[in-house]
Structure 1
Amino acid sequence: MSRPLGRAVLLLLVGAVLAVLGTGSAQAAGYRYWSFWESDGGKGWTYATQGPSVVRPDDGAVQGFRFSVSDDSQDSAQPRRAPDFGAVCAATPAKGGLKRIALVIDPGTAADAPEGEKPPPLRTACARVAPDASTAEALAAVAKPLRYDTSAMLCAITGYPRSGCGEQTGGDSGATDSGGPATASSADERDPDGASGGGGPSAGVLTGVGAVLVLGVAAVLQARRRR
């Protein structure tokens, strides 16, 4: 096979592979939702592994909620206020037969807000609830109205956002999909993209790359036979 022909085949092969990978990247999208966080025992946050309706925190716990757009739990934005039980519950004295839960409620930034809406300010609250109360019950005590969908996914805190629930954003069409998978803010504990892992190429993209490689090798072999 001549050098010009070999280079042409190589360039064609590389271009085809990049085109396939580019298609997969262009279709990537995130989800707009309330993520649920727990204090890691220090001054930081850890993504909750159970939904707020399942978690029953102890007295003195700090729980956080953050509204943002993300692909999955690995890149989800944390609340922008450090968990500090003493600061949040300083004005709420302990009371016999009840527990206190500190809550950090972060509606996020304008960049993550649904079209036509403005996020309210970040706020904190100290919920004084029954000893066996869940985080969802503590949230309901201080941040009504809450909105849930039919699968018990948390959609809105204090009425924000007005509509939508875990909808998909971005992608080629720019359309949203209100049927997105549940987040860790619901009881089924799944990532918002409904799968393990994050933004890697899909199985379809990898299959396409493999097909391009096979065709490229076949073209090279055919050219050598014709020499």
Structure 2
Amino acid sequence: MTRRRTRTPAGALTGVLAVLGLLLTLLAASPALAAGYRYWSFWDGAGGRWAYATQGPSTARPADGATLGFRFSVSKDAAAEAAQPRAAADFEAVCGNTAPAEGRKRVALVIDFGVPEDAPAGETPPQGTPRTACAQLAPGATAAEALAEVAKPLRYNGAALLCGISGYPRTGCGEPIQDAEQPKPSAPAPASASASAAAASEDSSGGGPSAGLYLGVAAVLALGAAAVWQSRRRRR
């Protein structure tokens, strides 16, 4: 007595493979949608190394001897790819000639207006960048107050986002920049001023293929594997 072999319908398997091929094609061709943003980033220079600040200037309260940095640039990511100030996070270099005062704290500030390639249309960065200044403040003063002490006028939007320092830029505030508008990368910061920014969690709503597309590919792969397993089982 011979065992009857049942073959998996070729049309079903072919259809599964066709859908899989289509999804993989879409996955490969899906463009990255993440845009860059033109904005003032805020940095903490603790330990002589720049790290992306974990608070905004209006809430951060630097201690005596702190070094703060501000950099205007176009960056794709708020932390991992944001451009750092191009001067060293060196408190003594900025505040070494400012004598301590009773009941006051000294805060060093590095203000980097960026490069012309990052400037909004019709504007150019102020000359003499990066700039440094030493602010003497009350012990409870915020980073925003320290900045206002040395770099007025400041401009904020309704959400308290820092939009302009010393009048630059005149307009705009953290606007997205499409890929076609992205400037050419500027020269890297000097070794004395460079340090990896603190890694922030990646924005799950960023560019690239959607989660649904990945799930679709996974589902089709599962169907294909099931079809192959069923075919082998029936041939035994």
Q: Same fold (TM over 0.5)?
A: yes
Q: Under TM normalisation by the shorter chain, which class is it?
A: 0.7 to 0.9
Higher mean alpha-carbon deviation, 66-75 vs 120-129, is at: 66-75
**Partner residue of 1:22?**
29
| Structure 1 residues 96 and 216: alpha-carbon distance in aligned structure 2, compared to 1, 3 A threshold | closer
**Partner residue of 1:159?**
167
| Structure 1 residues 216 and 85: alpha-carbon distance in aligned structure 2, compared to 1, 3 A threshold | closer
What displacement does 1:7 show? 9.8
| Structure 1 residues 94 and 216: alpha-carbon distance in aligned structure 2, compared to 1, 3 A threshold | closer
What displacement does 1:53 show? 1.2
CA RMSD of aligned residues (A): 3.4
1:31-75 Cα shifts (integer Å, max 9, x gaps): 11111111231x211111111111111211111111122222122
Percent identity over paired residues: 50
**Partner residue of 2:51?**
46
1:77-134 Cα shifts (integer Å, max 9, x gaps): 1111111111111332222222211000111222222222212221001111112111
| Structure 1 residues 207 and 21: alpha-carbon distance in aligned structure 2, compared to 1, 3 A threshold | farther
| Structure 1 residues 116 and 80: alpha-carbon distance in aligned structure 2, compared to 1, 3 A threshold | same
**Residues in 2 aligned to 1:55 and 1:219: alpha-carbon distance in whole angstroms:** 55
Which of 96, 107, 114 is equivalent to 2:113? Answer: 107
Instruction: Tell me if the contact between 2:33 and 2:207 (Cα under 8 Å) persists in the aligned partners.
Output: no
**Residues in 2 aligned to 1:59 and 1:107: alpha-carbon distance in whole angstroms:** 25
Task: Name the TM-score, length of structure 2 as normaliser.
Answer: 0.70
Q: Does 1:86 align with 2:92?
A: yes
Instruction: Tell me if the contact between 1:16 and 1:212 (Cα under 8 Å) persists in the aligned partners.
Output: yes
Secondary structure of the residue aligned to 1:131 is coil
Secondary structure of the residue aligned to 2:147 is helix
**Residues in 1 aligned to 2:148 and 2:206: alpha-carbon distance in whole angstroms:** 40
**Residues in 1 aligned to 2:171 and 2:28: alpha-carbon distance in whole angstroms:** 34
What displacement does 1:137 show? 0.4
Stretches of structure 2 that go unaligned for 5 or more consecutive residues are 1-7, 182-199, 232-236
Instruction: Tell me if the contact between 2:33 and 2:208 (Cα under 8 Å) persists in the aligned partners.
Output: no
Task: Name the TM-score, length of structure 1 as normaliser.
Answer: 0.73
**Residues in 2 aligned to 1:111 and 1:40: alpha-carbon distance in whole angstroms:** 29
Between 1 and 2, higher relative CO (CA 8 Å, sep ≥ 6) is seen in: 2
Secondary structure of the residue aligned to 1:137 is helix
| Structure 1 residues 79 and 11: alpha-carbon distance in aligned structure 2, compared to 1, 3 A threshold | farther
**Residues in 1 aligned to 2:204 and 2:87: alpha-carbon distance in whole angstroms:** 27
Instruction: Tell me if the contact between 1:47 and 1:73 (Cα under 8 Å) persists in the aligned partners.
Output: yes
Stretches of structure 1 that go unaligned for 5 or more consecutive residues are 175-194
Q: Does 1:67 align with 2:75?
A: no
| Structure 1 residues 156 and 18: alpha-carbon distance in aligned structure 2, compared to 1, 3 A threshold | farther
**Residues in 2 aligned to 1:26 and 1:77: alpha-carbon distance in whole angstroms:** 21
* Letter of the structure 1 residue corresponding to residue 60 of structure 2: V
**Partner residue of 2:62?**
57
* Letter of the structure 2 residue corresponding to residue 128 of structure 1: Q
**Partner residue of 1:137?**
145
